[in-house]
Amino acid sequence: MKSEKITKYVLFAVSLIILLIFAGMVFSLAGGAMPVFKEYGLKFIISADWNPTTGRESYGALPFIIGTLITSLLALLICFPLSFSTSLFIAEFYHKTRVASVLGTIVDLLAGIPSIVYGLWGFYTLRPVIIALGLSDQGFGIFTSSIILAIMIIPYATSLSNEIITMVPTELKEAAYSLGATRFEVIFNVIIPNARSGIVASYILALGRALGETMAVTMLIGNANIIPDGLFSTGNTMASLIANQFGEADGLKLSALIAIGLLLFLITAIVNALGKYIIRKFS
């Protein structure tokens, strides 16, 4: 009996480690961000001025918050028609066929490609196309980053939506078919209304992925510390700014970068929690 108690306590203690790691992360990020929030207060979040030159130092996170939101939302917009069609292909049109499982495997492979490889491909293959189309001079910017981000989040959006779509009760679909509905009508009048919240949740979770993507965006967005003023403008996201400037940072600049890390942490946590909450309610 005694050894049983010990085992139980050990397991409990280990679960406590998870809690401690999480609390420690929040604590460390908040601690590291403290100096910059003391200096600027909440103005840090709404200021658009980022200037690390000594003597004229000024730090504001707004350009990067906006850059992150624009690239991620645009990525979601580009991703949706592709991944939703793929979900319908796999989970409805060709459900349980060989061709659907092959397509599923191919889409899953996308999740296995490292971010830096996406960046390289974007730099050497996609960027020249953007330049050739005359969309921008150098090919860097919000639009290029968003296309790569869209490709990167396709597997996450697809696999979850697949599950949600297959969860729609067969009786409902068959009832509609028996009344003479076409597949198009079943999809839009039975599947989508029934699976709506689950589908929304899977795209929210995919958005959570896009918000934090670092390397590929760093290589493609052009790294300009400005609020992007158009689709083809250069910019920076919160993640790409940290990747770019963390190396040589100290003092107030380091604190500003940690503060941006804290904001990114909070934004992704909220987005993910929202997605998980909807999924849980759905199932």
Partner 1 sequence: MNLGSDIAYIDTFHRRKVRNTIFKIIVIVLSVITTSPIILILSKLIIEGVGQINLDFFTQLAPDTFQAMSAKMSGEKIPGGIVNGITGTLFLVLLASLIAIPIGIMAGIYLYENGSKRYTNLIRNIADIMQGIPSIVLGIIGYIWIVKNITHGFSALAGSVALAIMMLPLIIRSTEETMKMVPESIKEAGAALGVPYHRIILKVMIPSSFSGLMTGILLAVSRIIGETAPLLLTTLGSPVINFEIDKPTSAVPLLIWNFYNDPNMIDLIWSSSLFLMGFVLILNLISKRIIAHREKN
Residues 55-94 that bind partner 1 (CB under 8 A): 81-83, 85-86, 88-89, 93
Q: Which of 4, 96, 170, 248 binds partner 1 (CB under 8 A)?
A: 4
Nearer to partner 1 (CB atom), residue 14 or residue 42: 14
134 φ/ψ sector (left φ>0, alpha ψ -120 to 50, else beta): left
Q: Which residue is it, tokens 């689709």?
A: 231
Q: Examine residue 183 and tell whether it contacts partner 1 (CB under 8 A).
A: yes
The window from 44-52, 132-140, 207-215, 225-233 that contacts partner 1 (CB under 8 A) reads: 207-215
| By the rule CB under 8 A, 167 interacts with partner 1 | no
DSSP per residue over 97-118, as a string? Answer: SHHHHHHHHHHHHHHHS-HHHH
Establish if 282 lies at the interface with partner 1 (CB under 8 A): no
The CA distance from 250 to 242, in Å, is 12
Which of 121, 166, 172, 282 touches partner 1 (CB under 8 A)?
Answer: 121
Q: Is 208 in the site for partner 1 (CB under 8 A)?
A: yes
Cα 37 to Cα 183: distance, rounded to the nearest angstrom: 56
CB burial of 181-219 (b: ≥16 within 10 Å; e: otherwise) equals beeeebbeebbeebbeebbbbbbbbbbbbbbbbbbbbbb
Q: What span, in angstroms and rounded, lies between the C-alpha atoms of 133 and 129?
A: 6
Nearest distance in Å: CB 36, partner 1: 14
Task: By CB under 8 A, name the one of 109, 167, 175, 231 that touches partner 1.
Answer: 109
Q: How far is the CB of 232 from partner 1 (least distance, A)?
A: 21
What is the contact mask toward partner 1 in residues 133 to 152, using x (rule: CB under 8 A)? Answer: ------------------x-
Residue type, 167: M
DSSP 8-state code for residue 93:
I
- The reply on whether position 8 binds partner 1 by CB under 8 A is yes
